[in-house]
Amino acid sequence: MFDSLLSAGSLPLLERQAVWGEVRHNVLAGNLANIDTPGYRPRDLDPVAFQEALRQSVAARTPGAAASLAQAPHDPLAGGVPDELLTAVDRPGGDLVFHDGAPRSIEREALALTRNAMQRQAAIQLMGAQMAMLQAAITERA
């Protein structure tokens, strides 16, 4: 009974956003930790690919979404976040390149880390609000 409540709605998608955000946070924190390491290349997860997978997952869960997509929708996040979305790759170079050829910017890393933390925190807060609504419904309190 509770499995159907927890797997319906946006709760599974929020959970996957939080998991992906946690893995990305570790990658971005590693970039900051190695900002002065000669030859270190900043790494990142692909946020565009994850957002596309999230969009496809929402489309696959929406009734009548098949008509809006050229092909039948499939849920790329059905079993959790795929490994290819959790694999860090070298980030393309930026405007500033150090003498060792590595593109590093503490400002860019701090901004990416802050933005990622805010997105992850928003997903966690939304999950908490949904759990509070479920608890209120179960205990019959308004």
Whether residue 112 has pLDDT greater than 60: yes
Which letter, b or e, does each residue of 85-123 get, where b requires 16 or more Cβ atoms within 10 Å of its Cβ? bbebeebeeeeeeeeeebbbbeebbeebbeebbebbeeb
> pTM (2 decimals)?
0.78
> Rg of the chain's alpha carbons, rounded to an integer?
19
User: In the predicted model, what is the mean pLDDT of the chain?
Assistant: 82
Q: Residue range 101-129: average pLDDT?
A: 91
pLDDT tens, residue by residue, 18-47 = 999 999 999 999 999 998 888 888 899 999
* pLDDT for 60: 81
> CA distances (Å), 85 to each of 51, 61, 99, 105, in order?
10, 20, 31, 24
Contacts 24+ apart (CB under 8 A), 139-142: none
47 within 8 A of 10, measured Cβ to Cβ:
no
Share of the chain above pLDDT 70, in %: 77
